[in-house]
Amino acid sequence: MTTPSLDFDPSAIKLPQGHFIGGAYYQIDEAPIAVHRPSDGRLLGYVPDGSAQTVDYAVSNALQAWKTSGWGTRSPRERARVLNRWAQLIDEHVVGLAQLEAVSSTRPVAEAYASDVPFTAEAIRFFAELADKLGGDIAATRHGSLGFVASEPYGVIGAITPWNFPLSMCSWKCGPALAAGNAVVLKASEMTPFSTLRLAELAIEAGMPPGIFNVVNGRGATTGSAITRHPDISKVSFTGSTRTGAAIMSEAAFHGTKPVTLELGGKSPQLVFAQVPDLAHTARCVARGFTANGGQACVAGTRLIVHKRIAEALIDAVQRELVDIAPGAMWSSQTRYSPIISGAQAKRIETLVEESRAQGAEVLCGGGFFEGTEGGWFYRPTLLAKVTDDTPAVREELFGPVLTVQTFDDEEEGIALAAHPTYGLAAGVHTRDIGQAMRAMRRIAAGTVWINRYGRSGDMIIPTGGFKQSGIGKDLGRQALEASMRHKSVLIDFDFDIA
């Protein structure tokens, strides 16, 4: 199959407008939020800041659709048919979706085309396939009774997603929620709202009942908070920063004690022992682990912890991997490197690197922005040595392409350095010694451990989620579908003569 031309003119892209409620676009006069193109900082368009009334309108549409369309009560295989058609349409519209994703986000169009869009379709397909595979339990009761656990959808689930992988994040939230028979009201990030609206449009084309999947745009403090607080939202599934996750958890506690799934921030280590299977491969894993999407991935491996014996060779090899990294517009099919999402976020990275330097960190490479990128925020891949656990760049999730380097003498010290006081999202372990890999895997408190690789695969059966302040619950895997249902215990007596 030949690859279509992906290059496009960003000013010619037609942006979906408003909210998507009850199966159609919904426009109402609300405060506009300006959306900028991170590639060059120019104004792209506007998105409305959805009010509590708009959220209420979306939730009542969702509840009504859920009660009347039969989405939650029909056979899971019927839901799966709709979800599969949706996935198929996403695949068919891969070019348009990739371009829509690339114009407002940090995703290069070629990557959006090759991975974000296909992975979005694949995640929905995965949950469609799983829809009728999870049964309940039959309980061990006395013979005159039958006890079982029945799984049911919650009703309307609220979903809130971040800006870093808008399409994928939408599918991780909607796939399980919809497969389980819920309706969804989702708020995408106000910085990257457009591709999610288009997904909602395609869901209707696939045959999803209007009102089952709704998108309300707006800021966190207005729209996001109104979703969390709404009395008819029975569960909130969130991906974003640890600070926002805490705010949502607290609001959910006060407004209905509703359950939450929280996928939050990270500061993940790449622990490299003295003997690795292939140093060049390890260097590629390390380089890719902190530069993919400009370092703006929750699981970015931003702390290199390397045995002293191979530290110099590995750092050299990692730096060689960075040589060809160059900035470029997200609408050029040649671009592979991502800009920082916003000026504010770029400033934060700059400040944390400067503070780290002031505390003794040595910049081995990078340490500033690429020149001549016309208003965009392209930060150079940066390596910081001579850091301690107290260095700001080690302590904080700075969400940019910055790797700190710490060295160790023995296994015990390496594992101790890999631990982070706050986060526990992911970790990489690189070693030829399987025993050493298993010992490290057991002792590192992280929701995911990758051994001799770094990064997720297309295996949607493997769940993702964090320990400690990196989150609660899982996206993907069976666990995400189970968490989209509530479980009812049933006990029936049928033989009254048995004691």
- Closer to ligand NAD by Cβ: residue 369 or 423: 423
Of 30, 101, 201, 263, which one is the catalytic site residue?
263
- What distance in Å separates the CA atoms of residue 86 and residue 202, rounded to the nearest whole number? 6
Which of 57, 154, 379, 399 is in the footprint of ligand NAD by CB under 6 A? 399
- Interacting positions 425-454 with ligand NAD (CB under 6 A): 425
* Residue 153 host element (H or E): strand 145-153
The nearest distance, CB 188 to ligand NAD, in angstroms, is 6
Buried b (16+ CB within 10 A) or exposed e, 185-197: bbbbbbbbbbbbb
* CA dihedral for 411, 416, 417, 418, sign (positive or negative): positive
Answer for the pair 404, 315: CB distance below 8 angstroms, yes or no: no
Q: Which residues pair with 48 in a beta bridge?
A: 32
Q: Determine the length of the chain.
A: 499
- Closer to ligand NAD by Cβ: residue 104 or 244: 244
- What distance in Å separates the CA atoms of residue 151 and residue 142, rounded to the nearest whole number? 22
In terms of Cα–Cα distance, which of 271, 267, 264, 231 is closest to 249?
264
The nearest distance, CB 169 to ligand NAD, in angstroms, is 6
CA 390, 394, 395 angle in degrees (round to 5)?
Answer: 65
Q: Which residues contact 267 (CB under 8 A, 6 or more apart)?
A: 302, 303, 394, 395, 396, 397, 420, 422, 423, 425
Which of 54, 397, 429, 477 is in the footprint of ligand NAD by CB under 6 A? 397
- Closer to ligand NAD by Cβ: residue 212 or 300: 300
Q: Is 263 in the site for ligand NAD (CB under 6 A)?
A: yes
Task: Give the per-residue contact string, 39-78, with ligand NAD (x = CB under 6 A; - = no).
Answer: ----------------------------------------
Strands 423-424 vs 362-365: parallel, antiparallel or unpaired: unpaired
The token pair at 497 is 């003569």
Q: Is 265 in the site for ligand NAD (CB under 6 A)?
A: yes
The token pair at 492 is 């029936």
The nearest distance, CB 197 to ligand NAD, in angstroms, is 14
- Nearest 10 degrees: CA dihedral of 395, 398, 399, 400? -110
Tell me whether residue 175 is exposed, middle or buried, using C-beta atoms within 10 angstroms of its C-beta: 0 to 12, 13 to 18, 19 or more.
buried
Interacting span for ligand NAD (CB under 6 A) from 89-97, 134-142, 361-369, 463-471: 463-471
Q: Is 30 in the site for ligand NAD (CB under 6 A)?
A: no
Q: What is Dmax (Cα atoms) for the chain?
A: 86
Q: Is 244 in the site for ligand NAD (CB under 6 A)?
A: yes
Q: Is 225 in the site for ligand NAD (CB under 6 A)?
A: yes
Q: Is 163 in the site for ligand NAD (CB under 6 A)?
A: yes
**Binding residues for ligand NAD, total number by CB under 6 A:** 31
Q: Is 381 in the site for ligand NAD (CB under 6 A)?
A: no
Distance spanning both ends of the chain, measured CA to CA: 69
The nearest distance, CB 62 to ligand NAD, in angstroms, is 17
- Closer to ligand NAD by Cβ: residue 80 or 100: 100
- Interacting positions 303-322 with ligand NAD (CB under 6 A): none
Interacting span for ligand NAD (CB under 6 A) from 37-45, 197-205, 264-272, 328-336: 264-272
- Closer to ligand NAD by Cβ: residue 176 or 220: 220
The nearest distance, CB 4 to ligand NAD, in angstroms, is 28
- Closer to ligand NAD by Cβ: residue 215 or 314: 215
The nearest distance, CB 442 to ligand NAD, in angstroms, is 22
In terms of Cα–Cα distance, which of 64, 63, 53 is closest to 26?
53
The nearest distance, CB 464 to ligand NAD, in angstroms, is 6
Interacting span for ligand NAD (CB under 6 A) from 21-29, 237-245, 279-287, 364-372: 237-245
- Look up 263 and say whether it is catalytic: yes
- Closer to ligand NAD by Cβ: residue 333 or 404: 404
Q: Is 197 in the site for ligand NAD (CB under 6 A)?
A: no
Q: What is the DSSP letter of 410?
A: S
In terms of Cα–Cα distance, which of 102, 172, 76 is closest to 339?
102
Buried b (16+ CB within 10 A) or exposed e, 211-224: bbbbbbbbbbebbb
Q: Is 289 in the site for ligand NAD (CB under 6 A)?
A: no
The nearest distance, CB 478 to ligand NAD, in angstroms, is 17
Q: Which residues are catalytic?
A: 263
Q: Tell me which residues touch ligand NAD (CB under 6 A).
A: 160-164, 187, 189-190, 219-221, 224-225, 228, 239-241, 244, 247-248, 263-266, 298, 397, 399, 425, 464, 466, 471
